[in-house]
Amino acid sequence: MYGLMINDNEQLEIEYLLKREMEEITFDLGDHRIDSEIKAAMEERYVVLFQLFRRFASREECLQYMPKKKKQN
């Protein structure tokens, strides 16, 4: 496990960057031109970003960005 010491401004910047990246991934997942394998990789990345985001954000914010459950075929 790693530790990280950051100040309040740095925390806000990290939250902003994570939110922006997760929103962009969400937008791109709706694009029908993107291959399903690429979308799967994007979904995996989203989960990793969300796990980082959970460490900084409030419960309410986390609920907003919670990853969608995959549909099982």
Instruction: Specify the pTM.
Output: 0.85
Identify the pLDDT of residue 56.
Answer: 87
Q: Which residue has the higher pLDDT, 39 or 69?
A: 39
What is the 3-state composition of the chain as percent helix, strand, coil, each rounded to the nearest 5?
65, 0, 35
pLDDT in tens, 23-59: 999 999 999 999 999 999 999 999 999 999 999 899 9
pLDDT in tens, 4-20: 899 999 999 999 999 99
Q: Is residue 67 a contact partner of residue 25, using CB atoms and an 8 Å limit?
A: no
